[in-house]
Chains A and B, each alone.
Chain A
Amino acid sequence: MTILSYIFLIIGALFFLLGGLGVFRMPDTFNRIQAGTKATTLGAFSIIVGVLFGSVENHLDWIPKLIIIIVFIVISNPVGSSTIAKATYRSKNIPDNLIQDDLKERGEKQ
């Protein structure tokens, strides 16, 4: 159980590292949003799952709290990133090399 918990912790830390790297290295806003939120969602998820596996042995009372934190992150992070992306689209901060624009096809005003 401890080894499983360490594996999840390392995966989480790796995703945090990649997310932080992506925020600096990605070329435009949408890619940065994706790197900043998708990677950190999975990173936080894995780290909390790792803590959950680690707490099975002697901290059973942590488990419901950790599950609530997971639900919070899994809902709040994607919703926040989608809202930021929509706001970016509306502020016309769109990269030039955008190929597919579904919102424009649906007749959404910018």
Chain B
Amino acid sequence: MRKLFGLAITFALGLVIILALNNTVNFPAFGEVNLSERISGAYLSEDNVEEVGSANLVTSIVIGFRTFDTLGEVTVLFISSLGVAFILGRKKQKRMNLNFKPNFMLRVGSNILLAIILVTSFYIILHGHLSPGGGFPGGAMIASSVLLLYLADDRFRSNIKGFKLLEGFAGSLFVIIGLLGLVFATAFFANYLPTGTIGNFLSAGIIPIIYVLIGLKVGSEIAGIIDNFLTEEERA
């Protein structure tokens, strides 16, 4: 009975959505949208791209025009890490035991790979305004290096307090930079630094700074989640 009821509600909701969206003014048929009339067309117009000064169009939208939205995304990640810490975080913790003892080669090899992964992730973060990538993938790479060390080294234990400090620091600095936009310019997260020439490493105003902060914040948050998953309460 319950399953039948759920099925009926699902179909009814789907029907309502289809009827509401079908052939209305706000939802034209596929391929018949004039992009220049939409907001997204304005994001791509040449003057606005010049104004933001980021060579990467996605970054110019994500951090240039919609930074407030990005702040929301970072908050979602923060809340999820907070939830994991609420459920799994305990005071006295020891790391999860591995079923096997990683041999010398795996330990040393993963430590060398860690350096390369970190260099690549910071490269991705720093070039977020020039090439594909940016704060979120770079931060995920930083966290993946922590996961690699957890799985490849049976004595590794990450410094969770340092991660928490870094996360709070980066997050608050992100908001402070946005608030400074109210001082030096007109809006929250306004781009008040000189934008420079498009394509240079030092260009696009506050975008690289914000991306570095987002990368550090995302990396330390996901690393904290991984740390919470891979540690367990010490039995007294």
Establish whether residues A79 and B120, one from each chain, have CB atoms under 8 Å apart when the complex forms.
no
Establish whether residues A86 and B113, one from each chain, have CB atoms under 8 Å apart when the complex forms.
no
How many B residues face the partner with a CB closer than 8 A?
Answer: 11
Establish whether residues A71 and B100, one from each chain, have CB atoms under 8 Å apart when the complex forms.
no
Q: Is B110's beta carbon under 8 Å from chain A? A: yes
Q: How far is the CA of A72 from the CA of B113 in the complex (A)?
A: 7
Stretch at the interface among B5-13, B59-67, B70-78, B101-109: B101-109
Establish whether residues A82 and B119, one from each chain, have CB atoms under 8 Å apart when the complex forms.
no
Q: Is A93's beta carbon under 8 Å from chain B? A: no
Interface residues of A in 41-86 (CB under 8 A from B): 68, 71-72, 75-76, 78-79, 82-83, 86
Q: How far is the CA of A90 from the CA of B112 in the complex (A)?
A: 25
Establish whether residues A72 and B105, one from each chain, have CB atoms under 8 Å apart when the complex forms.
no
Say how far A94's CB is from chain B's closest CB, in angstroms: 17
Q: Is B42's beta carbon under 8 Å from chain A? A: no
Residues from chain A with a CB closer than 8 A to the CB of B120 are 68
Q: How far is the CA of A41 from the CA of B112 in the complex (A)?
A: 17
Establish whether residues A79 and B119, one from each chain, have CB atoms under 8 Å apart when the complex forms.
no
The one of A68, A82, A87 in contact with B116, judged by C-beta atoms closer than 8 angstroms, is A68
Establish whether residues A79 and B116, one from each chain, have CB atoms under 8 Å apart when the complex forms.
no
Say how far B152's CB is from chain A's closest CB, in angstroms: 8
Chain A positions 79 through 108: 1 when the CB is less than 8 Å from some CB of chain B, otherwise 0: 100110011001000000000000000000
Say how far B200's CB is from chain A's closest CB, in angstroms: 14
Residues from chain A with a CB closer than 8 A to the CB of B116 are 68, 71-72, 75
Establish whether residues B106 and A75, one from each chain, have CB atoms under 8 Å apart when the complex forms.
no
Given contacts A86-B103, A90-B100, A76 and B109 within 8 Å (CB-CB): yes
Q: How far is the CA of A87 from the CA of B101 in the complex (A)?
A: 11
Establish whether residues B100 and A76, one from each chain, have CB atoms under 8 Å apart when the complex forms.
no
19 more CB-based (< 8 A) A-B contacts, given A68-B119, A68-B120, A82-B106? A68-B116, A71-B116, A72-B113, A72-B116, A75-B109, A75-B116, A76-B109, A76-B113, A78-B109, A79-B105, A79-B106, A79-B109, A79-B110, A79-B113, A82-B103, A82-B105, A83-B105, A86-B103, A87-B100
5 A–B contacts, CB within 8 A, in A order: A68-B116, A72-B113, A75-B112, A79-B113, A82-B106
